[in-house]
Structures are given as structure tokens and as C-alpha cells.
Amino acid sequence: MKIIGIIFIVVGIALRYWVNKRRFDRRAITGLEMFSSYGKARLTVFLERLIKLLGLLLIAAGGILVLMSLTSPYGLHRN
């Protein structure tokens, strides 16, 4: 479970980084995001919010899985 949790955390961080990088790259010199149309702006913002939420959920789930694997008596190999 620990490996899956770590993978979830890494993927969640990567998704959030990717969205933030896209937003940064869209900014003009004035600091405003530039879109070619209103519809594309609304759709892009909506999808990016969903992706960031998914990333946050993956990070939280990964953290829970890692903590569960650390506290589980079955995860420890005792001789």
C-alpha cells in the first residue's frame, strides 16, 4: 500500500504543477490570462479546477495510504 500511496502523491503533485504551469504560461505581461474566446476560457478554467481537485484528492488519498501502511501491524515483518 505504501508504494501506491507514494504514486498517488507524486501523480497528484504533478497534476497540480502542470495546471499551475499552464496558467503561468498563459499570462501576458500585464498578469492577465489570455484566451482566444470566452467559451474556451470558461471551459479551460472549469477543467483545470477539476484537475486540481483530482490532484488534491490523490495527494490526500496517497497520504492516507502511506500512513495506514506505516501504522498497520501487517506491514511490519517481525522475526
Q: How far apart are CA 67 and CA 43, in angstroms?
A: 36
Which pLDDT score is estimated for 77? 52
Summarised one tens digit per residue, pLDDT across range 35-50 is 999 999 999 999 999 9
Task: Round to whole Å and give the CA distance between 32 and 24.
Answer: 10
Each domain of the chain, given as residue ranges in start order, spans 2-71
| pTM, two decimal places | 0.83
- Residues of the chain with pLDDT > 70: what percent? 92
